[in-house]
Amino acid sequence: MSKKKSFVDPKTLAVLLVDMQERFVCQLRKRDRNLIIPRQLEVIRLCAERDIPLVVLEYLVWLQEEYEYFQEPTIPELFAEAQKVRRCKVVSKGRDDGFLETSLKATLESLGASHLLLMGVNAGGCVLATAGSAVKLGFRVITAGDLIANDRRPSKYDKGDKSAPWYEKNGVFCQEYLSLLPVFGLDPSTGTQLTLPL
């Protein structure tokens, strides 16, 4: 975990689920898919239980023959759970950076979010580009190694799956999301109500 300490009021938290669409998820290594999707489901369920906003970012697909964009949905197992979150919003994007030419900033501001827990793919691509803009816009970013993953292709944003140091330097990064339970006001060892510094 990064050495920075700060209090996170769960009322200022929003969770971003980035590009968990079939065309990206199918590019993941099987072990990464089997690791991150169950953890992401657990976080989405916490959002529903604790009334924490969830913003689902979906990359638009350009259909050349129809000369229009198509919004491919988030994979069904995640989207079904996301629909149970009272304050769930879907934001479409046409670029890697979820803030670029989208309503994401306005959506997060309307939700009162100043801390963002990022989940999704690709850790060294779209998640990192979105996190970078979030930091520049004054948001605090939080993530865990078992909530994000890279596909098998090289990314222009990372050098061999080495995006973790960026997250550690610019926010809060843990290898396991269970270490992040305090941002939900929960004790990681017992799951009971708690508000602790990260």
Mean pLDDT, to the nearest integer, of 33-61? 95
Asked whether the predicted pLDDT for residue 191 surpasses 80, the reply is: no
What is the domain partition of the chain in residue ranges? 10-184
Q: Is 139 exposed, middle or buried (0-12, 13-18, 19+ CB in 10 A)?
A: buried
Mean pLDDT, to the nearest integer, of 91-112? 96
128 and 157 in contact (C-beta within 8 Å)?
Answer: yes
Tens digits of per-residue pLDDT, 162-190?
688 899 999 999 889 888 887 777 766 65
| Angle formed at CA 191 by CA 178 and CA 140, multiple of 5 degrees | 50
100 and 93 in contact (C-beta within 8 Å)?
Answer: yes
Mean pLDDT, to the nearest integer, of 79-104? 96
Mean pLDDT, to the nearest integer, of 47-62? 92
DSSP, collapsed to helix, strand or coil, labels residue 86 as coil
Tens digits of per-residue pLDDT, 108-136?
999 999 999 999 998 989 999 999 999 99
- What gap in Å lies between CA 173 and CA 32, rounded to an integer? 17
pLDDT of residue 153: 55
Which residues, including other chains, have CB under 8 Å from residue 31's CB and lie 6 or more apart? none
pLDDT of residue 187: 66
CATH of domain 10-184: 3.40.50.850
- What gap in Å lies between CA 105 and CA 123, rounded to an integer? 20
DSSP, collapsed to helix, strand or coil, labels residue 71 as strand
pLDDT of residue 10: 81
pTM for this structure? 0.86
Q: In which band, very low, low, confident or very high, does the pLDDT at 7 lie, cut at 50, 70 and 90?
A: low
